[in-house]
C-alpha cells in the first residue's frame, strides 16, 4: 500500500518500468519504458564552457548556460566566474513559490574585466531554420512553445518574430533594475515555484539548473518583503563558496552528466508519455502537457 | 538599484503602492493599488470548523479544508485530528518541484472512529447555480477554469458535467494507493512546485494552505525515489507536533486570518492587474493569466 502511494504520485522515470506482459502489448509506453528504450545518441553532454558550477556548503549546483539566447550575458557570467566574483557572496533572497537569488548587482562595479552594462537579450529573432522542437499543445502565454538547444521556449512568429526562453521551475535569469538596465549577470535567480511566465520577455534568461536544484529551492525563505533575508537572518545566509565554469576545472573535478536530447523521435514519445500518463496509478490521462510540466531527464555518465 | 531589483521581481501586493500622480491617472491599477482600495467586505474569514492547523517545530501551517469538494474526506480528517492521529507522525516525503507528504496511510487502521475507506470525491457535479467565478483566459488542461469558494477549479460542462479543484502550488491532497482506494486523509500532500495539473481528477483534493506554506516547501528533499527520506535521513525527519481543527481550540489560540474573496468586482480588477502587470519594472504585460498563477492574498486580522 505504501509503495503504491509513493511510486504512483511520483515521476515515472524514477520508477522501475513495469514488466510488459501480454495484456500490455498494445498499451502506449510509460515514461520509464520510453527512457529504458533510449539509445546513447538520445542523450547529449553539455559543453563544459557553457556549464557553470555554483559551489554551496550543501553541494554543487550545475547550471547549463544558454549561449544562443543570451551570448553576452553568458560570456560575462563566465568572466565573473573566472574573476572569482561570486566567491563569498550570499544567497540574499528566497521567496516562496517564486525565486532564489544570489550574487550582488552592485558589487560588479568593483570588477575590472566584466561588463557592467549589457545589451537587451530578453528575446532572439525567430527564423525557420532554427532547430526548434514544437510542442503542439496550446499555451496561454505564447503563440507557440517548444524546445531549442534543450531549453523550453516561447515563439511569436508574427508580428514580432520573437523567440525566448520560458520561465519554468529551475530556469536561471539575470536580476535587473528598471529598464533599460539589463543586469550584468552579477546577480542571478532561479525559479523555485509555479512558472512565472509573466516574466517572459521582461528579463534576460541565461540557462537552467541541471543538477542540485534542491540546494536552491529548499533554503529557508527570507522574511522581509520579496523574500529578502531580514537583518537578523543575514548571519545565517548561505554563502557561495565559488562559481566556476566546468571548462576551467580539471576533468576529474567536473560533474559528468548527460541530458536527454529534445530533438529526437524518442523525445516525442517521451512527451506523449507525459501528456497521457499510462502508469497503473492514473485513472485519467490529462490529454495535455504544458512546456513547463516536462522535466528533461538528466543522468550521471557511468 | 538594489531596491529596484528586489521590488520589481516580487509580488506586487507586498509592495507599497506607488503614489498616483497626474501622469498615472489613466493607467490601470497595479495589484497593490487594487488591494489598497479593497473594502472590508472584499475579505472573508475561513470557517474554524474547516481550518486545520498542522503544528510543526518551525511553526503552524494553516490549511483551509474544502468541504464542498470533498465533504467525507474533510470530515474524516477532522475526526483524525480530534483523535490526535497525526501527532508524532513524520513528514516522510519531500520531492523537489512536486510534493511534500505527511501522515501515514497505513496507520489509520489503528484508529477507531475515522473511516478507512471513503467514496470517490475527485470531482463534483457542475451545475449552473454554483457561484463559480470564471477565468476567461484559456487553459490547456481544462475546458474552463475559475474559482469556487475561493479554491481554483477546472470545469468540463460537457460531456462529463464535472468540476474539480486544480492542483496549484499550496494545494493539499489525499495520498492514495491504486484505484479504487481513495485514501482516507491519514496521509496528505501539498504541492511545492510547478502545478502538476495531470493529477487533476486523479486524486482527491481537500484544501489549500493559507499560511505557513514555506514550512512545508523549504524542507530538505528526501534522497530516495520519489523524494522519500532514506533510512539515514529518517532520524532527522520533521515530526508533526499536532494537527487540530481551529474550532477545537480556544479563540485565543487560533490564527486570525482573512482571505481575499474571489466572488467580487474587486477580484476581477485584481485578476486584470495580475494578467497585465503595470508596475514600472515590467516592459511587456503578459496579456494572459493561468489559474495557478493567481496568488489569493491572505492577511492577518488586525
Which residues, other chains included, contact A1 with Cβ-Cβ below 8 Å and sequence gap of 6+? B105, B106, B177, B181
Half-sphere exposure of B28 (CA within 13 A, CB side): 13
How far is it, in rounded angstroms, from Cα B182 to Cα B174? Answer: 8
How far is it, in rounded angstroms, from Cα B83 to Cα A25? Answer: 47
Higher pLDDT pick, B41 / B25: B41
Residue in A closest to B196 by C-alpha: A293
Identify the H or E element spanning B273. Answer: helix B265-275
Q: How many residues appear in chain B?
A: 302
Provide the 10 A C-beta neighbour count for residue B155: 22
Cross-chain CB nearest to A169 (options B2, B193, B203):
B193
CA dihedral sign, ordered A82, A99, A153, A179: negative
How far is it, in rounded angstroms, from Cα A283 to Cα A209? Answer: 32
Residues B244, B81 contacting (CB under 8 angstroms): yes
Does the pLDDT at position B243 exceed 90? yes
Residues B247, B49 contacting (CB under 8 angstroms): yes
Backbone φ and ψ of A163, nearest 5° = -135, 140
Residues B12, B32 contacting (CB under 8 angstroms): yes
| B9/A141 touch (CB, cutoff 8 Å), yes or no | no
Which residues, other chains included, contact A118 with Cβ-Cβ below 8 Å and sequence gap of 6+? A72, A73, A76, A182, A183, A184, A185, A204
| B284/A138 touch (CB, cutoff 8 Å), yes or no | no
Q: Which residues of B touch A95 (CB under 8 A)?
A: 10-11
How far is it, in rounded angstroms, from Cα A193 to Cα A189? Answer: 12
pLDDT of the residue at A97: 98
Strand ranges across the sheet with A257-260: A43-44, A257-260, A298-300
Band the pLDDT of A153: cuts 50, 70, 90: very high
How far is it, in rounded angstroms, from Cα A291 to Cα A40? Answer: 24
Residues A69, A152 contacting (CB under 8 angstroms): no
Q: For residue range B87-139, what is the model confidence (pLDDT) as tens digits? A: 999 999 999 999 999 999 876 656 656 667 789 999 999 999 999 999 999 99
Q: For residue range A44-102, what is the model confidence (pLDDT) as tens digits? A: 999 999 999 999 999 999 999 999 999 999 999 999 999 999 999 999 999 999 999 99
Higher pLDDT pick, B23 / B265: B265
CA dihedral sign, ordered A283, A289, A290, A296: positive
Q: Is the peptide bond before A159 cis (omega within 30 degrees of 0)?
A: yes
Q: For residue range A83-96, what is the model confidence (pLDDT) as tens digits? A: 999 999 999 999 99
Identify the H or E element spanning B147. Answer: strand B144-148
Q: For residue range A261-299, what is the model confidence (pLDDT) as tens digits? A: 999 999 999 999 999 999 999 999 999 999 999 999 999
Residue B150 C-alpha cell reads as 475561493
* The model's pTM: 0.92
Q: Is the peptide bond before A262 cis (omega within 30 degrees of 0)?
A: no
Backbone φ and ψ of B74, nearest 5° = -60, -45
How far is it, in rounded angstroms, from Cα B263 to Cα B134? Answer: 10
Burial of A246 (0-12, 13-18, 19+ CB in 10 A): buried
pLDDT of the residue at B164: 98
Band the pLDDT of A21: cuts 50, 70, 90: very low
Residue A187 C-alpha cell reads as 546577480
Residues A44, A51 contacting (CB under 8 angstroms): no
How far is it, in rounded angstroms, from Cα B28 to Cα B32? Answer: 12
Identify the H or E element spanning B108. Answer: none
Beta strands in chain A (DSSP E): 43-44, 51-56, 59-65, 91-95, 99-103, 124-125, 133-135, 144-148, 151-156, 162-165, 171-174, 187-191, 205-211, 242-245, 257-260, 298-300
Q: Does B168 touch chain A (CB under 8 A)?
A: yes
Q: Which residues of B touch A195 (CB under 8 A)?
A: 194, 293
Q: Which of residues 96-125 of B touch A (CB under 8 A)?
A: 96-99, 101, 105-106, 122
Nearest to B152 by CA among B195, B188, B113, B115: B195
- Backbone dihedral region for residue A257 (phi beyond 0: left; psi -120 to 50: alpha; all else: beta): beta
Cross-chain CB nearest to A202 (options B175, B284, B292):
B284
For testing contact with chain A, the best of B140, B289, B292 (most A CBs within 10 A): B140
Amino acid at each position: 500500500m505504501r509503495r503504491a502511494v509513493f511510486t504512483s504520485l511520483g515521476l515515472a522515470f524514477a520508477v522501475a518500468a513495469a514488466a510488459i506482459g501480454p495484456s500490455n502489448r498494445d498499451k502506449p509506453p510509460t515514461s520509464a519504458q520510453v527512457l529504458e528504450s533510449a539509445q546513447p545518441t538520445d542523450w547529449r553532454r553539455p559543453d563544459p564552457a557553457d556549464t557553470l558550477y555554483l559551489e554551496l556548503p550543501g553541494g554543487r549546483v550545475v547550471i547549463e548556460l544558454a549561449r544562443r539566447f543570451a551570448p553576452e550575458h553568458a560570456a560575462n557570467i563566465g568572466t565573473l566566474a573566472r574573476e572569482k566574483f561570486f566567491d563569498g557572496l550570499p544567497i540574499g533572497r528566497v521567496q516562496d513559490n517564486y525565486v532564489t537569488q544570489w550574487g550582488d548587482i552592485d558589487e560588479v562595479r568593483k570588477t575590472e574585466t566584466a561588463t557592467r552594462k549589457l545589451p537587451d537579450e530578453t528575446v532572439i529573432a525567430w527564423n525557420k531554420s532554427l532547430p526548434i522542437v514544437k510542442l503542439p499543445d496550446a499555451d496561454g502565454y505564447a503563440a507557440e512553445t517548444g524546445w531549442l538547444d534543450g531549453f523550453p521556449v516561447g515563439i511569436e512568429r508574427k508580428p514580432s518574430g520573437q523567440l525566448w526562453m520560458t520561465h519554468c521551475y529551475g530556469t536561471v535569469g539575470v536580476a535587473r533594475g528598471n529598464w533599460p538596465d539589463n543586469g550584468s549577470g552579477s546577480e542571478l535567480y532561479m525559479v523555485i515555484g509555479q512558472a512565472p511566465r509573466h516574466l517572459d520577455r521582461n528579463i534576460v534568461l541565461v540557462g537552467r539548473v541541471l543538477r542540485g536544484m534542491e540546494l536552491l529551492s529548499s533554503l529557508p525563505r527570507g522574511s522581509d518583503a520579496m523574500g529578502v533575508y531580514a537583518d537578523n537572518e543575514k548571519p545565517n545566509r548561505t554563502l557561495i563558496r565559488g562559481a566556476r565554469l566546468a571548462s576551467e576545472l580539471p576533468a576529474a573535478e567536473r560533474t559528468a552528466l548527460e541530458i536527454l536530447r529534445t530533438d529526437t523521435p524518442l523525445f516525442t514519445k517521451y512527451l506523449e508519455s507525459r501528456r497521457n500518463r499510462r502508469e497503473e496509478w492514473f485513472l485519467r490521462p490529462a490529454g495535455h502537457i504544458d512546456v513547463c510540466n516536462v522535466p528533461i531527464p538528466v543522468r550521471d555518465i557511468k
